Amino acid sequence: MIRLKPLDQQVLVVTGATSGNGLATVEQALRRGASVLAVARNEDALAELAARLGVGGGRIATYAADVADPAAVEAVAAAAIATFGGFDSWVNNAGVGTYGTLEQVPLDDHRRVFDVNYFGVLHGSLVAARHLRGRGGAIVNVGSILGDRSIVQQGPYCATKHAVQALTDTLRMELEREGAGISVTLIKPGAIDTPFPEHARNFMDQPPRLPPPLYTPEVVADAVLFACAHPRRTLYAGGGGLLSSLLAQAAPRLTDKIMELTGKTLQQKPGDPGIAARRDNLYEARDDDLRGSLDVHARGSSVALQGQKLPRPMLALALGAGAAIVAGLAVRARR
């Protein structure tokens, strides 16, 4: 049986900790009483993070590492053990992306996206599992709704998120079979107002953006921290993403057509390139922040996420009802 500690008794390792969802997770975890080892490539941002969040007595340590390097990820675990005596939850959040067609993105860039988004999660999961095996704890992988449904202009990113879902499911089964006592959760955010569009390497002829509706990074942090203390298979962060995933499953060809007609336009923001110092962090760290600098509206809460926190029998009923509604809408759309 899996038993997880209350969050205020935990030590968390969080990768991708200086920007967007990772930064929100670190901030919220410290506010809720947890201790955190924050991991990222950006050494300057890590130093600022430790100085800002450590002032109020928050138990935070930092470690600079690129999760694409397996030796660096091993060193992260060693740092957590040396600083805090170990860890209770490991959050694989670091990620990079590109905008452009599959042909436009060079092969080396395809590989780099996989090195970070897939192999970084693999490295972190295996290291975490070795440490937590027999002791118990949680591995939380931040995937995406794009692991359920690909979108044009983000092919390599979508492919990695499909791969992360397969990796997470396989890891869960292997650990359950051996009775390791480790919870394995996949978080699937929808569109989140982070610096991702500015950080991504862009091959389009216009500046990129994320398609609405958007949510704030705190919504993802809420899902991640819930999973650290409550065993769950999957949590969708944002109702918009959950609905689009259900629609894609109910009517895949219809969703194809919608993506083909609107997908590129919805991911471009002419005349608003964002902050230049943030652009293109595919190989090197760039300026980080909690939110993106584009002029967008983002929702600060998600009713759908709160519903997924319900006890499982109630959740099953709610999801069944939601799936039935979406299926009905898909049938109408075909007529």
Does the structure show a pLDDT above 60 at 44?
Answer: yes
User: Which amino acid makes up residue 58?
Assistant: G
Q: CA 42, CA 73: separation in Å to the nearest integer? A: 15
Give the mean pLDDT of 282-288: 97
322: pLDDT strictly greater than 70: no
Bridge-based pairing state of the strands 191-192 and 182-189: unpaired
Cα(326)–Cα(241) distance, integer angstroms:
13
The average confidence (pLDDT) of the chain is: 93
Q: What's 10's DSSP letter? A: -
Residue with tokens 């049938």: 331
Domains of the chain, by residue range, sit at 7-334
Which two structure tokens, joined as six digits, stand for 240? 């918009």
pLDDT of residue 311: 86
Instruction: Please give the CATH topology (third level) of the domain spanning 7-334.
Output: Rossmann fold (3.40.50)
Measured CA distances, 51 to 45, 59, 62, 211, 291 (Å):
10, 11, 10, 34, 20
What is the C-alpha separation between 166 and 143, in angstroms, rounded?
11
Query: Model confidence over 4-36: pLDDT tens digits?
Result: 999 999 999 999 999 999 999 999 999 999 999
- HSE-up (13 A, CA, CB side) for residue 318: 15
Q: Angle at which helices 155-177 and 107-117 pack, to 10 degrees?
A: 30
The answer to whether the bond into 273 is cis (omega within 30° of 0) is: no
Residue 53, pLDDT > 60, answer yes
pLDDT tier, 55 (very low <50, low <70, confident <90, very high otherwise): confident
pLDDT in tens, 157-199: 999 999 999 999 999 999 999 999 999 999 999 999 999 999 9
* Residues taking part in catalysis: 157
315 SS3 class: helix
**Interatomic CA distance for residues 189 and 205, integer angstroms:** 26
329 has a pLDDT exceeding 60: no
Q: Look at residue 313 and tell me whether its pLDDT is greater than 70.
A: no
Of the candidates 306, 289, 286, 287, the residue with the CA atom closest to the CA atom of residue 239: 306
Evaluate whether 91 touches 12 at the Cβ level (below 8 Å). Answer: yes
